[in-house]
């Protein structure tokens, strides 16, 4: 399978690095998806404030939502939520969408064209955000 994301604008290593960073905070990583009937779980240190949900799963890719929650005046508030596309066999992932209290940013336009500036910003931000989880 060819790398679906690599081109001159997007160095592949950011997608590989983000895959590794996310894989570290999962109990069984992406390798056990088939064995776990498509379920994935965050490590216990993150399970109370974060959730991970499979949006779609095919043989080649997996779309997931990774969400942080906090309580504000008794209400559960989502901030932020990342929609990620993971290619487990290739060990890469890309941020498809980012949602926070200020709005939604998408890596692709509705017609499927790449929004290059947003795509690189979201993928860089995701890498820094996962680093801040401090789970080592």
Indicate whether 78 belongs to any domain.
yes
Phi, psi of 36 (to 5 degrees): -95, 20
**Closest by CA position to 50, among listed 32, 63, 69:** 69
Name the token pair of 81. Answer: 């939520």
Average pLDDT over residues 6-28: 79
**Closest by CA position to 91, among listed 8, 27, 33, 9:** 33
Number of domains in the chain: 1
Contacts of residue 91, defined as CB under 8 A and 6 or more positions apart, other chains included, come to 16, 19, 20, 23
**Helix H or strand E encompassing 119:** helix 116-131
What percent of the chain is modeled with pLDDT above 70?
Answer: 82
Task: Report whether pLDDT(135) > 60.
Answer: yes
Domain span at residue 64 reads: 12-131
pLDDT digits (tens, 9 = 90+) for 65-118: 998 888 889 887 878 999 999 998 899 999 999 999 899 999 999 999 999 999
Band of pLDDT at residue 2, cut at 50, 70 and 90? very low
Would you say 55 and 66 are in contact if contact means Cβ atoms under 8 Å apart?
Answer: no
Indicate whether 6 belongs to any domain.
no
Indicate whether 7 belongs to any domain.
no
The length of the chain is 136
CA distance 2 to 120: 20
Indicate whether 50 belongs to any domain.
yes
């Amino acid at each position: 399978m060819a790398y679906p994301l690599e081109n001159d604008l997007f160095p592949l290593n950011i997608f590989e690095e983000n895959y590794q960073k996310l894989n570290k905070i999962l109990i069984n990583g992406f390798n056990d998806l088939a064995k776990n009937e498509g379920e994935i779980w965050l490590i216990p240190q993150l399970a109370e404030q974060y959730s991970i949900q499979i949006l779609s799963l095919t043989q080649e890719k997996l779309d997931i939502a990774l969400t942080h929650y906090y309580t504000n005046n008794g209400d559960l508030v989502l901030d932020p939520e990342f929609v990620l596309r993971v290619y487990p066999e290739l060990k890469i992932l890309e941020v498809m969408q980012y949602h926070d209290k200020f709005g939604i940013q998408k890596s692709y336009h509705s017609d499927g064209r790449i929004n290059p500036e947003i795509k690189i910003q979201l993928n860089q931000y995701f890498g820094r955000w996962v680093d801040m989880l401090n789970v080592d």
